[in-house]
Copies of this chain bind each other. A is one copy, B any other.
Amino acid sequence: MESLKKRILEDAIIKKGNIIKVDSFLNHQMDTRLLNDIGKEIKSLFADKKVTKIITIEASGIGIAVIASQYFDYVPVVFAKKAKSANLDDDCYTSKVKSYTKGVTCDIQMAKRYLNADDHVLIVDDFLAEGQAMFGLIDLVKQSGATLVGCVSVIEKGYQNGGRLLREQGIHLESLAIIESADENGIKFKD
Contact = CB atoms under 8 A, between A and B. Distances in A.
Copies, count: 2
B103 A86 contact: yes
A33 interface: yes
A18 B11 CA distance: 45
Interface stretch (A73-81, A130-138, A146-154, A174-182): A73-81
Contact of A87 (B21, B33, B83): B21
Contacts of A47: none
B102 A28 contact: no
Contacts of A27: 87
Interface stretch (A1-9, A60-68, A158-166): A60-68
A105 interface: no
A111 B66 contact: no
A88 interface: yes
A67 B29 CA distance: 14
B66 A30 contact: yes
A183 B102 CA distance: 40
Contacts of A89: 23
A66 B63 contact: yes
B30 A77 contact: yes
B87 A32 contact: no
Interface in A1-48: 15, 17, 19, 21, 23-24, 27-33, 35-36
A189 interface: no
B85 A32 contact: no
A29 B59 contact: no
Contacts of A139: none
Contacts of A169: none
A52 interface: no
Given A23-B87, A83-B102, 7 more contacts: A15-B86, A24-B113, A27-B87, A29-B111, A32-B77, A62-B63, A87-B101
